[in-house]
Amino acid sequence: MKTQTELSRSAELYARAQKVLPGGVSRNSIIRAPYPPYVAFGKGCRVTDIDGVTRIDFSNNMASLIHGHAHPEIVRVVNEQMARGSAFMMATEAEVVYAEHLCSRSPSFDMLRFVNSGTEAIMVAIKASRAFTGKYKVAKVEGAYHGGYDYAEVSQAPTPETWGSDDKPHSVPLVFGTPESALRDVVIIPFNNAERAINILNAHAHEVACVLLDLMPHRVGLNLAKPEYLEAIRNWVTEHNALLVLDEVITFRSEYGGLQTRFGIKPDLTALGKMIGGGFPVGAVAGRAEVMDVLNPKSHKYLFPHSGTFSANPISTSAGLTAMQLFDHKEIARLNGLTNRAIEGIQKAIDTTGARASVTGGGSMLRVHMKEEPPHNFREAFNTDAEKNRLTALLDHLFDEGFLMINTCSATLSTPMTEVEIDALVAAMESGLAKIASMP
C-alpha cells in the first residue's frame, strides 16, 4: 500500500525538481519538510495546492500581495495590457500615470525611477547615495534584511559567535566568498539605541554615504523605530552630508504614503517593491529631486547611468497602479484594524496557554516570537535551539490546520480577509501554543 507521501503529487514534483533545481527550488524560502506544496491556484486570501488542500494565505508571497490572489480588477487590466504587448523598447503612458500616482502618496517623493525588484531598488538607492555624496560607505541596522546586494546583506544573519560587541558590531558576511572590501565598506549599527548608533556613525563620519533604515524591520523583531532614534539618525545624516535611505519595500503597506508618513519624516530616498507591482515583479526608488537628478542624463549632475530591460514594463505598472488605487485610506484603516484584532487575540492566547511567546507588529503585519518578552533588536530576537524547535512545531501545526505563514511565524494580511480569517488564525494559534507550552 502506498504511503501518503507517495500519493502526493507535490512529492512527485519535488522529486523531479531536485534533479534540475538546486535544492529542488528557485527560492529557499518555500522549502519545508518533507517537501514543499505545489500550488494549483489562488483566489482571494486562499490557496489550493495540486493535492486539493486549501489554506488561508497569510504569507501573501512574502508580503507582496496586498489584494490576495487573482483580484478581478487586476486580472482585467493585465489581460487588456497583455493583448497590447508586455514590454517595449519605448516609454509607456502607464509608467507616467503610475509614477504620478505614487508621487502623490508621499510628500518625500518628488520623483521616482522604476526598477524590477526591492533588491534592485536598494541597490540603486545605495549607488545614487554614493554618486550624490561622493562617499562610499553604507550604514545599516544589524540583522535587517534589504535584499541580495553585497553591501545590503552584510550582517543580515550574524550569530553570537560572530556579531562582536554591542558597542562595535562586526560586519558579518551572509554568503561565503563575500569580498572583505564589501565588509569594510558597511557600518553596522544597533536598532533603537540612538546613543550607540551615533557613536558608531561618528567613527565613520567622513565616509558614510547613507544610512539604510527600515522603520519596522521584520527580521530584527518587527517593532517600530523609536521616534528619538529616528530623529537622531535624521539629524546625523543632515549634519554629516550623508543621506537617509528608507527601505519601505514591505512597510509601504502600513499607511497610504508609507510608514514614514506616520512618523512625519522625509527621507532623502525611499526603496519600494513587493505590493506596488500588483502581483508582478517591480521596484522603485523615490526621493528628493536633487538626489534623483544623478540618474537624469539631461542633468549637469548626471553621475549614475542606469537602465533595465523590464523596468517600468506596462504589465507591472498597470497592475501596480490598479492595486494601489484600490488600496485607499479606507482599506488601509480596515486592514490595520484587523491586524490589531489578530495581535490582541494572539496575546490573549499566549496568556491563556502559558506558552513562552510574544507577538509584535502593526500595519497589516505581525510576528510571533518564542520569547516571553518581545525582542527589541536583532540580538534579542535571535532564536536559541530550543526556541527554533518550538517555532518549527508551531509553524507545522499552523500548516496542518490550513494556514500559510512566513517562516519566521510572521503573517501579512490582504484585503480579501475579514474577521472570519483573523479569528480562525487566532484559534489555530491558541491550539498550537497549547501544544508547545510544555516543550523545552
> What are the tens digits of pLDDT across the range 380-427?
999 999 999 999 999 999 999 999 999 999 999 999 999 999 999 999
Grid coordinates standing for 431? 491550539
| pLDDT tens per residue, range 297-329 | 999 999 999 999 999 999 999 999 999 999 999
CATH domain 72-326 topology: Aspartate Aminotransferase; domain 2 (3.40.640)
Q: CA 170, 173, 179, 181: dihedral to nearest 10 degrees? A: -30
User: What's the pLDDT tens digit per position in 131-163?
Assistant: 999 999 999 999 999 999 999 999 999 999 999
Query: Is 3.90.1150.10 the CATH number for 37-66+329-436?
Result: yes
- Cell (9 digits) for 407: 517562516
Helix/strand/coil for 81: helix
pLDDT score of 5 more than 80: no
Band of residue 1 on the pLDDT scale cut at 50, 70, 90: very low
Helical ranges in 243-328 per DSSP H: 259-263, 289-292, 314-326
Single-letter code of the amino acid located at 250:
I
- Checking if the pLDDT of 65 tops 80, the result is yes
pLDDT value at position 134? Answer: 98
Q: Please report which helix (H) or strand (E) contains residue 73, including its range.
A: helix 72-84
Instruction: Answer yes or no: are the C-beta atoms of 221 and 360 closer than 8 Å.
Output: yes
| pLDDT for residue 6 | 57
Domain ranges for the chain, please list them.
37-66+329-436, 72-326
387's grid cell: 526556541
**406: DSSP letter:** B
Strands 243-247 and 269-273, how do they pair? Answer: parallel
Residue 68 amino acid letter: G
Answer yes or no: is pLDDT of 225 > 90.
yes
> So what's the pLDDT on residue 7?
75
- The C-alpha atoms of residue 250 and residue 270 are separated, in whole angstroms, by 12
Give every CB contact of residue 242 below 8 A, 6+ residues apart in sequence: 129, 133, 135, 139, 208, 209, 210, 211, 236
Residues with Cβ < 8 Å from 34, sequence gap 6 or more? 5, 11
E strand or H helix at 43? strand 39-43
Q: What is the mean pLDDT of the chain?
A: 97
Helix count and strand count (H, E) for the chain:
16, 14
The DSSP H or E segment spanning 189 is: strand 186-189
Per-residue pLDDT averaged across 367-373, rounded? Answer: 98
Query: Is the per-residue pLDDT at 2 higher than 80?
Result: no
pLDDT digits (tens, 9 = 90+) for 171-199: 999 999 999 999 999 999 999 999 999 99
Q: Which residues contact 406 (CB under 8 A, 6 or more apart)?
A: 29, 58, 59, 62, 63, 412
C-alpha cell at 343: 495581535
Tell me what percent of the residues of the chain surpass a pLDDT of 70. Answer: 99
Q: What is the pLDDT of residues 17-55, one digit of tens each?
A: 999 999 999 999 999 999 999 999 999 999 999 999 999
DSSP letter (8 states) at residue 283: E
Q: In what side-by-side order are the strands of the sheet with 54-57? A: 39-43, 46-49, 54-57, 403-404
CA 262 distance to own-chain centroid: 18
Whether this model's pTM surpasses 0.85: yes
Chain-centre distance for alpha carbon 345: 24
- How much is the average pLDDT of 361-378? 97
What are the cell numbers at 102?
505614487
